[in-house]
Structure formats: structure tokens, C-alpha cells
Structure 1
Amino acid sequence: MRGGSTVDWCTLLVVCAGISQCASNTSPVLGQRGTVPFSPPHPWPRHSHDGANSSNYLETHASTRTHVLGTQTLASFKRRRNNTTFHNEPEMNSATSSVEELGGLIRQVVEIALDGCSLLIALDLIYSRSPLLTQLESLPHPKQVVVVRNAEDLLSVLWDGKLCRAYLFLLHNTQPLLDFAKRDFSAWDYYGKFVIVGLDMEKFEALTYTKKGRKTQHIVGIMKSESYGEWRVYMNQLYASQRVAFVSTWRSSHFTRKPDLFPDKISNLHGFQLNVGTIEFPPAVIYRYGPERQRHVYGRDVGVLRALAKTMNFTINFVEPPTGEVWGKRLPNGTWTGIVGMLGSGVADIAIANIFITSVWGRKEHQHFSSPFHQSVNCVMLRVPRPEPRWQAPLWPFTEETWLALAVGLLLSGPVLNCLAHYSAGSLHKASYLESLTSSYLHVTAMHLREPVAPEPNTNTSRVMVVFLWLYGMVLEVSYCSNLTAFLTVTRQPRTIDTFQAFQDSDLGIVGLGPLFGSLMDHSVNKYLKELSKRFISLSSDPESWVTDGRAGYISSRQYLKYTMAKINSEHRAPFVRVMKECAWPFSVSVALQSYSPLKPKIDEVVTRIAESGLVSYWFEESTRTATQNRRKPQRQTTERKEETSDRGRVMALSIDHMQGVFYILTICYLSTILLFLAELTVGRWEERNTRN
């Protein structure tokens, strides 16, 4: 102060404001919870937070000194009020001038940078009756005023405004603000504009290092300079080597240079390196290693990430969770492992790896999601069942029911024809042309096979029945031969599993990466999925081997399974695995971010444009094609595969493999004939022996 007085300017500010009564607990100007009870045109509602998601976050950069300036000033004023006489009137004028300079500065900031925003004014006891508050009350902005005694008073602030929100803090005692910045992480407007008066450089940097400060895009600090009537303005920086940047100086009622108080700090990150959490999960993220083990990362989600990096001008540093943790799971203490844990702890700034937008196990409390760029459902991949043996080909043209009907028809036709022939001939006094029931069966069988028979019917009744049996046999033979030709030239697959009901009826297990799908099945309203959850096995790696071994089905997103199926079938040069037709749980896929990340609005904008352009589908197809070509292994083709992949225009000759069913019939014929011959020989000798006796 000029004049060599030992009275500090804050004490003079109190004198000028005439607020000695502020030290009393019965101050008439303070309402409940420290809110000044004036009535703006549209008062803001109160908003409370339970702080359930708060945690003790140690800020190593924060100041450990507690400087309760306001209380000290009031106490000093009370002690000096009766002992101090201000003989130097310019000292009081100097303090008033300083307040006026600050008021002009704040009004200028509001006018040039906060036009159209609602305004929250948070001040402590010293500022609560300052002429500065009167100046701010005259602003045309909608306002909420809160007097801050401790961190709890800031809970009365409405932090979730949807429109432009500005927050003006006028504090001599800044410790409540620093304490509040380390707790109640949901009680904060991460996209608001903050102007803070009262912090020195050390405490301003400490604020920018708190969890709230690190994720708030716009924080401006106004600090008193050592020069009379001069104030210096600083702002925080998010993705830069320095956390604080100088903006401008306020001197003689104007800025020394035009300030840009709230610039866009996200659209251009100026090459800043972001840590991107990921795992190898084709086709979203695919690893390819060069001859010197250098890793090249590509895939559908990597294409989205590289487009974001190019648009927002940042560099990428891939980081992975510990082996086996994949996306992560919630631990009993509430923390997470895997990718979710990396985002929650700040190890990763963003993450990709086919990440679903879901709130299972309170996931949204630890990570947030961008706009979706892909929609997917989750299906089950199964091994293609082994083909049925070709010796069964003669049985394939008809179903089991058809074969049963043919057997019944054959059994009935023999006795019916025999009876008609015998009794019809007897009524006409003729000899029957069928000697016995055996001859009748041979006659009917020959007609089924469209073979000529020697004896001809000698009655009209028999002739009519024989004619219809010939017609019946002709239709059967043509139908059978046509289907038999087709079945001899193709490989017949057994009935496949295409529904969760059929899967539940089988003896297969079901596996998945991580515990997510097991939990989804257990909470499903589908009774078959709920039963399958009892067989679910959570794996950390290599679920495909369970499928190729035929032990289980693998549940995952359909695009991932399509990629995996193409890779496995390409390696085997034949259909080896397939995807079940029935699927479940449609999900949206997005980029994962830290909770309350300032990157979210810009990433949402870019991701939406990428999804609308159709590039995501292109990156998926390109990744699948590249991976399939890189992993294809040349294998020797068997005779069967060569035949199945031959040119469609060629006429296929039937091999011994195709005709094995015919030779099985011939073998059965030989065996049955020999057995019957031996039986007849045995019976003949037995009868001859009885005749001799």
C-alpha cells in the first residue's frame, strides 16, 4: 500500500464495505446453507448430490498450506477497530480503487466471453457484502449466488446445466474449492466455464491437477499482480506439457492484449500423445508382426481411431491390460481390472476393442462411451458336424417315415394279392397263378422294383391290383433313383444346431472371453439361455480351440465370429466352423473414454460422421480380407475336397467313395445268401436223417 501503512488491502476492503457484522452468526444477509437471499428473475433450483461415487484422490501437486485469509481478516478487523484510526484517506481510496479494477475486469470477462450464459457466483464472507457483488448483481445474466464457508456449501450448486453455464468464484479462502475438487466427482460441470479469483499460481496449478480440474476444459484464474491496479489472467491446459498458460494482463481498465479466455482445446491437440487401451480382438483390433517382431496394428476399430487421430491431431500410444484381464471385471472393493480399470485409473485416455455400450455391473460409473459407430448382435460359433458316412447313401433319398410306410405297404401287398388271386380263381373254378404266399411276396417285390414277372394274373381282380402295383412301383422307383443320384454326388451333413433351444438340448458347453456373457445369460428372460448359463465357462484366451475340438460353442459378436470363421475355414480349405442362426443381445459398439472426459463432445461428433460415411463397414471387410490372406496356410487337398471344388461345368464321375453303399448291399447279399444256404443245407440233412430213422 502507498504511504507505508501496515494495514493490508483486504482489511481496507472490509472497512470500505462496512461488514463488521459478517463475523456474527446471526447475519441478516445470509440465508440457509450460505445462499444470499436475493431474487433473480428466474431463480435456479437447489441441487444436491449424495457423493456416493466420491473417492479419496491424492493430489501430489496440491498445496499443503491452509490459508484462511477471510477469517483472519475479520478477526484482525475486530481487534483493530477500536485501536486503529485511518488518518491517511488515500489508503482507503486505494483499496476502493483495487475493488473497482477487479469489478471492471470481471465485467469485461463476462461481457466478452460469457455472453448468453447463466452465471453462478460463489463467494466467501469477505466478498459477500463487497461493492463488487453489487456490480455483479446488476449483470443481465440469470444468476445463482452461493456463500462458501466450506466444501459442503458447494453441493447446493446446480452442476448439471444443459445450456451455457459460467461459474465465478470470488474467494479469499480457496481451501474449500480445492477440497471440493477432490471429491464428489459427479457434482461438477465439466463442460462449464470457470473464472476463479483468489488463487495464487501454486494453488491454481494444484486445482488443475485434481481429478475435476484435469477433466474441465475451461478454467480461468485471475491473480493480483505485485504492481498496483494490475491483474494477471491465466487459463488451464488439458493435453499439453504445461498445465497453465498465461492469457493477458489487466491494467488501467483494459487488457494489454486481446484475450482468448475460453479457446477450443480439444479440436486440435497439437500432436499430443494419447494412451489408447486395447487388446487383440479381430476384426476390431488385429496384430500383425513383421520379420523383426515389430507390431503393426490394424482393424475396424483401429480405422476409427486413426480417423480420430487425424481429425483431432493427436498421436497414438497403445497400452494393454495385464494378460488375461481383457475388458475387465469388477472386484469386491469396487475397482475394476482390464480396460475398464485402465480408464478409471487414468492409465488410458480412451480405449477400443469392440467395446459395448452397457451398464452391466455399474460399468458406466467407471467409464463413459462415445456415440456408437456400429451395431452388433451376439451369436454362437460351432464346429461343422462331421459328414455322415457315404455307405448310408442308399437310405438318404427317403425319410425314416417314408421307409416305414414302404415297409408296411410291402408287408400288406403280399397277403392281399395272394388272397385275391386264390379266392378269385376258386370262384371261377380256375387254378390260382400264385402258388403260395412266398410267391406273392416275390411278385410284389418285383413290381416295386419294376422287374417283369413270369406268371400273369388270370382273373380281372388280380389284373386290376397288379396294374396299380406297377404304377405305385414306377413312382417309387423314379423318385428313389432321382434322389439317390443327387445324394451319391454330395456330402450329407447331419442336422445342425441353429437355435438356443437345440443348443440347450445338446451336450455341448459354451465359452466366452470374460464373464460378461455368463452374467447376461444368467439374467436373461429366455429360459434356454438361463439354463445355458450353468454351462458357461469364462476364458481369458484361445476360445477358438474349444470350438475346433468340438467341446463347446463360442459366444461373441457376430462380426468377430464372421472374421474368425473366415480365418479358420481358410486355413482348413473347407467349411470347418459355422455361426448359429439365432442370436441375442443387440449392442452398440463405441469408443470408451474416461468418465467425464473432455474429449467426448469432439469424439462424438467425429464418430458420428464416420458412421454415417459407411467407412466402418469398409474397414471391416478390408481387415478380414487382409487377415485371411496373411494367415492362410497351404495344405494338401484330399481327393474329396478336389472333387467338391472342381469346376461346376464338369460332369463328375462317380467314384468308389460315392458308390460304397451299392457295394455294401452286394456284400450283405453275399453274406445273407451264404447264411441261408448253410441253413437250408442243415435243415435238409436233418430231414434226411429223420426219414432214414
Structure 2
Amino acid sequence: VPWFLVNGEFEVMRWWALLLCCGAAWLTAWKANAQELSPNIDGKLNVTQERELEEVLMHLTRLYMDGCSVNIFYDSDQSLALVSQYVQQISQSENITFTLTIFKITEAILMDRNTWPEAQCDINVFLLHDGELLFDHASVNHFLASLHDNHPHALWNFNAKNILVALTSKVSEFNAGKLFAFRKSLNFLQVEFTEKDVLFNTNYPYQNIDKQLLASYRLHKMNSTINLFPQKFKTFNGSTIKVSTFEHPPSVLYIYDADHNVIKRDGVDMILIAALESALNFTAEYIEVNKGELWGHEMPNGTWDGLMGMLIYEKADVGACNVFIEQDRYDFIDFTAPFNFERGCFGTPSPKLLPRWTSPVMPFTSVTWASFAVAYLVGTALLYAVYRASYRKESIEYNSLSFDFLYVLGFMTMRSPYTTPSYPPLQIYLGFLWMFATLITIAYSANLVAYLSIVQKSPPIDTMKQLRESSLRLAGPAFWKTQFVASIDEDARSFENRLEPRYDLENVFKEVEAGEFAIIENKQFLELYVAGRYTYGDTATIRIVKQCLLPYSIGVGLQKFSPLQESFSKVVLSIVEFGLTQRWKTEVISEFRLRYLEEIALKTGKEAAVGDPLSIDHLLGVFMMYILGLILAALIFAGEILVQRMSK
């Protein structure tokens, strides 16, 4: 300060100079404080923010890390120093125990499967100054990229609590919540530092919210009552979720208008999706699967089509249409809790009507007829032999083989003989022969009445062995080929090369009814079609083989590592506990049958009633036997005349 101001001279100027000096000192202090409260360009936190970071980490440790497996990732030497301070601080805490692993973020570390183990409780903390390596890694679906490897891996832990700590404005300004890995993570928290506060943000991927503030704290004012990992998928606030599906009753049944546009989606799976919509407050956007693909299968080039392909390649969030939960699919997609159980079964043509003219021979099997013929011939020969060997001769008529043949035939037709034996040897023999013939005749007559009055059919196919031995071709979706390959049953494995992949199931059913094909599909689907479209009156033209494949659980298909799994499964389990799925199934079957009621009634009218009087068709076999006898008698008569003329 100049001397003349101190001496009291120029008093006004002195006060102005003092004010100027104070202003300069205040400005210098403000600039220093401002510089302390914001990160430097090189990313180093100021002292205040370092203290805030320590408090944030300890706050998270006390709330969430006890008993867990904790992995800390850092990307610079400055963040390593912060990690060291944190480790020193938690080592002094006696009430918290967890497993800690520290990683320097490098491409090799991020691409190593061992970096991403899964335990019951996992927490990943990312301390980022730059973040580029991690962001590049998190933006890629590594599971999809490694799909063709023997053991594909996501190179991420989606079930862990993933905490991203932004140590620079560069990291804070980057929209990390939109990256693939953080979108799929069930729990994601982003921590940022401002001049005054610590901000805690998360994302809501299905609501298109990449960053939303959960809480903000100041130093020494952390609030433990606020949940930093809320259930983000408990409600979707009207967001849109894409559902892949196709018509496949009773799981999915479409109601069409006059122009064949879908006006309503019914069926067990669609009612379930509607219940999920209501419970979780989202809107389903339906994406139709191509009719030639249905559930889809893995093609020779390793890609997938159909419903599976839509989930694998993230064209849909959910897949709903009688989706079997099985290992080949679980390798590529996830599922909700099961809401139904199903079996793979075979549909075959119903036994065909046997020709009416075969009725006279149907009461006995071929073995029985052969045994009867042998007994008849032996009986005739023995009658002749007994007569010839007897010391006391019976009537001379027994000495003729033709007479003995007709005599035994009379026994077989329950006709009383006009000539009876006089002595015990022949009497005893013919007595037992008569008893035998009577029992045989009664058994034949009783069965003959049934075969003449009731329509007879060919033996049904009840086992996979019978189907294997039949001449029927086998059709169905290609999915079943993988099930045949994995089966331990020899008969089931034999269908691997026999199966003809078909997706036009409507046409396949017609070919089954025509007797050309058998179809492999789930049992409920077969039951619905057989009862709803191929049963006329009491007669079904398609029959389900009794022996089926092992049962499968049915769930809603989800993208691999989908965060929807937990919330969807809770609702599904509640629905199953109330038994609603079985009720829905009954209602859908009634609806399906009403759709084809006119067609069924038309065909039912053509069926013959069981109680109709016997027609010439019923007795065709009897008349054919009569005509055959006349022809045989005529031939013998003609032969006799010819022999007589030749002898003259």
C-alpha cells in the first residue's frame, strides 16, 4: 500500500485501494475453491471429491457388499491409488467380510472368461477415468459373437450389481446406460460427482431411459433408506415389449375378420401375455413368425430362423407359442418359470374299416383257423381209421372217406347225424368229437354275430415300434429331429432320418387322415385338432399313439440374459398357482370346435349309425362263401361228367 495512503492523505483513495485489495483476495480464493471442486482435465479428483468417493464406496460396502464376491476394475494409475485407499479403509472394518478381486482394465482381462464368474452375490465396481476400453467391450453382444464356438460366453455378469463410478466429466457425459451390457444388467448404478453433490443414476432400458437420477447426496449426508438398486422391471409404465408368435392352437388361436385380418389373439399363451401386460403395465407389440419357420431350427450355416431366431438376434423381446423348455434351446435363449407341461406324441390314421366280405373269417385268427382245419382233417382220417380197425363192423357208409368228410362237417355245423355208431369204439370217439365241434361252433357263432353287426377295423398303432414297422411317412417341425437324436429309445432314434420337416401342418393333417403320413407334434395340439376338426360324431379319423416322448415343460421364451426373467416368472407362477391355464385351455378348445362346427356336422351326417339293420353289405362274406361253394360244386360236377365220358 503506498505510503501516502497510510499517512491519511488522500483518504478516499485509500479506502478504494483497500476495497480493491480485498476484492482481489476474494477472487483468488474463489478461483482456488472452484478449481478444487471440479475434476482436472487429466481426470484427477480434487481432495473434496476423493473424500466423497471414499464415503460413497464405504456406504455401498456397508449396504450391499457384505458376504459377496466383489470385483473392482480400474483403468488408470490415479484410480489405482483410490483403490488402494479403499482397501486400506475396509481393512480396518471388523463387521464387513467379502471376497475382493482387483483388475486393471485391459482388452485381455475383459475378454477372459475367468474375469466373469458367477456366484450367489456378485458386485462389479468400475472406477473409470477414460472408460473407452470398457465401453467398447460393453457395447458388444459377446454371446452372439461367440455363438458358433463350442462354448459361447457373454463375457459379462448380467446378474451382478454393476456399479460404474465416473471419475471424470468425460465418463459422466458418456451415455453408458444405453450400452448392451448395462441394458441387460439386472442392477446398474452410475455414480457421478458435481461441484456440490454425488449423483446416483440408473437406466430403464424398456422405457428408453438411459439415465435417471435415483438420489443425490452431499458429503457426510449419505441416506441408507433409499434403495440404490430398485426393482426396475416391476412395472414398465406403458412401455412397448415386442412379442414374437404365430398361430398354433390351443396355445395361440387367431380370430379373423372377413378380410382374414387378425382382430383378436386368443389361446393359452396369448391370454398369459395379456395377464402379464396387465400385471406389469406394458403394451405388447406382436411380431409374426413366417409360416414356414414356426419355432425355427439351426440351419447348416449355424444361424437360426423362426421364433428362436427372433429372440437370438434380438428382433423380439419375448417369444410365446407353446415353447418347450429344453437344453438345445436353453443354450441360446432363456425362459420364464414353466406354466404348463406337454409331451411330444404321434398322430396316425385311425384304423381303417375292413372289407365286409371278410366278416365270416374274422371271428378266428389265422392260427385258430389253421388249427381248426388240421383238427377237421385229422378227425375225418381218424373216423375212417377207427372204422377200418374195428372188429365189429359199423355201417358200411363209414368206409367212404367222402362220407366221413361230410359226417364230421355235420358235427362242426351242429347238425344231428342220421347214422349213429352201434359199438363202443366209434361211439366214444364220435362223442368227444361232437363235444369239441359243439364248443368250437358256439364260439364261432357268438363272435360272428358281433362281426356281422359291428364295423370291423384294422389293428391300431399304439407304440413307436408299431409306427416304426409301418409304411407311414413321418412329418413335423424340424425341432423333433434333435429330440430323436438325443433319445435313449431305439425306436425314437429311428425316426431321425425318417422325419420330413414340414411346417404346413394343416396340409399334413389332411395327409394323415388320408392314410399317407403320421405327424409328430405336442399332445395338446393333436388332441385339439383331432377333437375339433377330425372327429365326426363319435368317430375320429386321426388317432393319437398311446406311447409318447418324455414330457416337456412349457414357458415363455426370452432373449438370453434377459432382465425380464425375474418379473415375468413371478407373475407366471402366481397364475399357475390359481390353476388358470387349465381353465383357459378348456375355453380355447370349445372356441376352436365351434369354428369348424358346420364342417364337422356335414361330415358327421355321412357316418353310418351303429344300430342300422343288417344290409347285403354286412352279409357280403356269407354270400361270397355260397357263390364259392357253387363254383366249386360245378367244377367237380363237370369233372365227373368229363371222367365218365372219357371212360366210355
TM-score, scaled relative to structure 1 = 0.78
Deviation of residue 179 (structure 1)? 2.2
Q: Distance in 2 between matches of 1:638 and 1:10?
A: 87
What are the residue-to-residue correspondences of 1:154-553 with 2, within 5 Å? 154=110, 155=112, 159-183=116-140, 184=142, 186-198=154-166, 200=169, 206-225=175-194, 228-251=195-218, 253-254=220-221, 259-291=226-258, 293-360=261-328, 363-424=329-390, 427-428=391-392, 432-513=396-477, 515-542=478-505, 543-553=508-518
Q: What SS does structure 2 have at the residue aligned with 1:291?
A: coil
Report Cα offsets for 1:301-338 as digits up to 9, x if no partner.
Answer: 22333333333232222212334122222245543221
Does the aligned pair in 2 maintain the 1:378–1:586 contact within 8 Å? yes
| Distance in 2, Cα, partners of 1:204 & 1:610 | 43
Q: Which residue of 1 aligns with 2:151?
A: none
Structure 1, gaps ≥5 residues long:
14-66, 74-93, 647-651
- Cα deviation 1:266-302 (Å, max 9, x = unaligned): 1222222211111222222222213353332222222
Structure 2 residue identity aligned to 1:568: R
Q: Measure the CA separation in 1 of the matches of 2:291 and 2:520.
A: 21
Amino acid aligned to 2:273: L
Change (3 A) 1:334 1:418: closer
Farther off after superposition, 329-338 or 110-119: 110-119
How far apart are residue 636 of structure 1 and its match?
Answer: 4.4
TM-score (norm 2): 0.83
Hey, what does 2:613 align to over in structure 1? 653
Counterpart of 1:97, as a letter, is T
Distance 1:585 1:467 in 2: 58
**Cα contact 1:125–1:148 (8 A) shared by 2:** no
1:129 matched to which residue of 2? Answer: 81
The CA distance in 2 between the partners of 1:640 and 1:411, in whole Å, is: 46
Identity rate of aligned residues, in percent?
25
Cα distance per residue 1:547-576 (max 9 Å; x no partner): 123222111222222222223323686220
Q: How far apart, CA to CA, are the structure 2 residues paired with 1:502 and 1:242?
A: 59
How many Å apart are 1:455 and its aligned residue? Answer: 2.0
Q: Which runs of 5+ in 2 are unaligned?
A: 1-27, 144-153
CA distance in 2, matches of 1:12, 1:666: 113
Amino acid at match of 1:126: Q
In the aligned structure 2, how far is the partner of 1:523 from the partner of 1:366? 18
Instruction: Let me know the Cα RMSD of the aligned residues.
Output: 3.2
Alpha-carbon offset, residue 3 of structure 1: 4.5
Matched residue count:
599
Query: What is the distance in 2 between the residues matched to 1:182 and 1:457?
Result: 107
User: Which residue of 2 is the match for residue 555 of structure 1?
Assistant: 520
Does the aligned pair in 1 maintain the 2:66–2:98 contact within 8 Å? no
SS of residue paired to 1:472: helix
SS at match of 2:319: strand
Kindly provide the amino acid, as one letter, of the partner of residue 213 in structure 1.
F
Alignment partner, residue 594 of structure 2: 629
**Aligned equivalent of 2:639, options 664, 674, 679:** 679
Q: Judging changes above 3 Å, is the alpha-carbon distance between structure 1 residues 428 and 193 closer, same or farther for their aligned structure 2 residues?
A: closer
What code does the residue aligned with 1:616 have?
Answer: T
- Equivalent residue, structure 1, for 2:9: none
Cα pair 2:68 2:99 within 8 Å, conserved? no
CA distance in 2, matches of 1:298, 1:430: 86
Match of 2:630 among 670, 676, 679: 670
SS at structure 2 position matched to 1:327:
coil
Task: Indicate conservation of the 8 Å contact 1:105/1:254, yes or no.
Answer: no
Structure 1 distance, partners of 2:114, 2:448, is 82
Matching residue of 1:148: 104
Structure 2 match to 1:104: 55
**Which of 583, 588, 608 pairs up with 1:618?**
583
- Structure-2 separation of matches of 1:639 and 1:686: 62
Call closer, same or farther: CA 1:100–1:422 in 2, change over 3 Å: closer
CA–CA separation in structure 2 for the residues paired with 1:12 and 1:249: 18
* Separation in structure 2 between the aligned mates of residue 431 and residue 665 of structure 1, nearest angstrom: 32
Describe the SS at the equivalent of 2:554.
strand
Pick from 510, 532, 537 the counterpart of residue 567 of structure 1: 532
Q: Please give the per-residue CA displacement for 1:33-76, whole angstroms capped at 9, x wherever unaligned.
A: xxxxxxxxxxxxxxxxxxxxxxxxxxxxxxxxxx9x45xx6xxx
